[in-house]
Amino acid sequence: MSISQSTHQTQTGWNFDNSYLKLPDIFYRQLPPVPVRTPQLVIFNDSLAEQLGLDPQNLNTPQGAEILAGNLLPPGAAPLAQAYAGHQFGGFTMLGDGRAILLGEQITPGGERVDIQLKGSGQTPFSRRGDGRAALGPMLREYLISEAMFALGIPTSRSLAVVDTGEPVRRETLLPGAILTRVAASHLRVGTFEYAARRGSTADVKILADYAIWRHYPDVARQDNPYLALLETAIARQAELVAQWLLVGFIHGVMNTDNVAIAGETIDYGPCAFMDAYNPATVFSSIDHQGRYAFANQPPITQWNLTRFAETLLPLLDKQQESAIEMAQQALDSFSDKFRRTWLQGMRKKLGLMDEQEDDVALIDDLLAIMQRLRADYSNSFRDLAGEQLTDNELHRDGAFQDWRKRWQWRLEQQGQSFNTVKKIMDRNNPAVIPRNHRVEEALAAAEKDGNLQPLEHLLRVLATPYTDLDAADLAYREPPPPSQRVYQTFCGT
């Protein structure tokens, strides 16, 4: 089967530009997706399609499935695989899109430019020993968690659709194959800069940096030292991002530098998960044996990743290497403060604190220590603090917690706001529901084994408004897993 450019889909609203092609050719290889046998839409994101200017009535169709599977190219697409490198669990590797194809950049009715990428689209020159394909479960997982993150208000890539390819993929067993359509501000990664620095010249790094500035941080171009400003801005965005992860209990799982987006979005959902019981040492990923990417290790690892980014920019920061290093070091040193400030602001909101006081840090730390000792549920413990009726659980029966609550209530009285005002802030910052792993696994199993999408669709619906109290019929979605359903490991699932 060969790929033809679709002429029927002009009404769909495709509006591609292909600015990545203007980069030097070391940065990509042009090639089409590898066609699949019998593509069928499994799930489609109508509201995201509309935001992108795409008509769901045209795309959420059998012909749309051909496009979203890579069998048919939408008008204006110029497919390519991106080249990049990365530090994976600390070690440097040359990588690249081994199973993804960038179709192009959709210019939305709102004037935004976003990458449309097919993930699981077949082998490329960067596939190494991989088959270029993806299994249905992990692609649905990325769809679900990325859309949940979006609903939580956290910067993230989005998911437009998942198609079943009709071709099995061989993993430990044979699994249904699938392709995810990923939408992202861009797929520029720290690893793209590492690739440029390692494989190209300083001129290539400069072109890439200028491209990143043009695409994501145009204001930076007017600064005296735009490359320093790019570094500082990327550091600020990553600090805010990882703080937001921690505030909702998210663990990315594979924070390799190839999975760190320069635009500051959460990207590349693999063995990620939300924490149930509070424990800063929580690790889910089956491949993270050392706990490198454990919950509480995410801020220092982000700083480590950003240090790899800074290294690639050194020749652009200053002609004198010593002063370039000094600039980079200073920028990197600001990470901890930036992270801490966003995290503290978020924690104050989680506790309904509207002004700032010295003792707040101790108040926050003491609550977290009690939660850790009791293995209290992270999300529900916060959400229930503002509950009007007394909650009967281990945390609320605990003496130290009761003392803590008196301190907190006294602190709230000092700020002289009504309970309603405080509760509103708390509810907007403490999710009533998160994608709990046992629920995610249950929904994926139903889809994968029985072709039953109802649990997945229901879960997506519940997760779409995470800061609203659940309907009585959905209360079970907030419950932590019973011991028999606890998930200790999530698999990279390629």
Contacting residue, 204, 268, 377, 384, with ligand AMP by CB under 6 A: 268
Contact between 99 and ligand AMP by CB under 6 A: the answer reads: yes
For residues 223, 227, 233, 239, the Cα torsion angle rounded to the nearest 10 degrees is -150
Contact between 490 and Mg ion by CB under 5 A: the answer reads: no
Contact between 265 and ligand AMP by CB under 6 A: the answer reads: no
Nearer to ligand AMP, 125 or 387 (CB): 125
Answer yes or no: are the C-beta atoms of 145 and 435 closer than 8 Å: yes
Amino acid letter for position 149: M
Least separation in angstroms between CB 439 and ligand AMP: 23
Identify whether 258 is a catalytic site residue. yes
**Mask: binding to ligand AMP, 269-308, rule CB under 6 A, as x and -?**
-x--------------------------------------
Closest CA to 67 of 1, 9, 122, 10: 9
3-state percent helix, strand, coil for the chain, nearest multiple of 5? 50, 15, 35
**Is the torsion defined by CA of 264, 45, 441, 132 positive or negative?**
negative
Nearer to ligand AMP, 32 or 132 (CB): 132
Residue 130 touches which member of ligand AMP, Mg ion, none, C-beta under 5-8 Å by kind: ligand AMP
- Residues 266-285 touching Mg ion, rule: CB under 5 A, are 268
Nearer to Mg ion, 12 or 259 (CB): 259
Contact between 130 and ligand AMP by CB under 6 A: the answer reads: yes
Answer yes or no: are the C-beta atoms of 370 and 403 closer than 8 Å: no
Number of chain residues interacting with ligand AMP (CB under 6 A): 17
Contact between 480 and ligand AMP by CB under 6 A: the answer reads: no
Nearer to ligand AMP, 288 or 448 (CB): 288
Residue 95 touches which member of Mg ion, ligand AMP, none, C-beta under 5-8 Å by kind: ligand AMP
Contact between 164 and Mg ion by CB under 5 A: the answer reads: no
Answer yes or no: are the C-beta atoms of 438 and 485 closer than 8 Å: yes
Nearer to ligand AMP, 147 or 258 (CB): 258
**Residue 487 main-chain phi, psi, to 5 deg:** -105, 120
Catalytic residue among 97, 164, 258, 377: 258
Contacts 24+ apart (CB under 8 A), 295-301: 295/246, 295/249, 295/251, 296/246, 298/242, 298/245, 298/246, 298/251, 298/252, 298/255, 299/239, 299/242, 299/243, 299/246, 299/335, 299/336, 299/339, 301/255
- Residues 38-97 touching ligand AMP, rule: CB under 6 A, are 95-97
Least separation in angstroms between CB 257 and ligand AMP: 10
**Is the torsion defined by CA of 59, 60, 62, 66 positive or negative?**
positive
Residue 98 touches which member of ligand AMP, Mg ion, none, C-beta under 5-8 Å by kind: ligand AMP
Q: Give the DSSP H or E segment for 58.
A: helix 56-59
Least separation in angstroms between CB 122 and ligand AMP: 9
- Residues 322-381 touching ligand AMP, rule: CB under 6 A, are none
With H, G, I as helix, E, B as strand and everything else as coil, classify residue 252: coil
- Give the separation between CA 142 and CA 269, rounded to whole angstroms: 5
- Residues 238-267 touching Mg ion, rule: CB under 5 A, are 258-259
Least separation in angstroms between CB 6 and ligand AMP: 26
Number of chain residues interacting with Mg ion (CB under 5 A): 3
Contact between 158 and ligand AMP by CB under 6 A: the answer reads: no
Contact between 254 and ligand AMP by CB under 6 A: the answer reads: yes
Closest CA to 112 of 192, 183, 211: 183
Calculate ∠ Cα 255-94-117, nearest 5°: 65
Output the six-digit token pair for 71.
Answer: 């069998």
- Give the separation between CA 334 and CA 310, rounded to whole angstroms: 13
Contact between 159 and ligand AMP by CB under 6 A: the answer reads: no
Least separation in angstroms between CB 112 and ligand AMP: 25
What residue ranges bind ligand AMP (CB under 6 A)? 95-99, 126-127, 130-133, 254, 258-259, 268, 270, 494
Q: What does the binding site for Mg ion look like in residue numbers (CB under 5 A)? A: 258-259, 268
Q: Which residues are catalytic?
A: 258
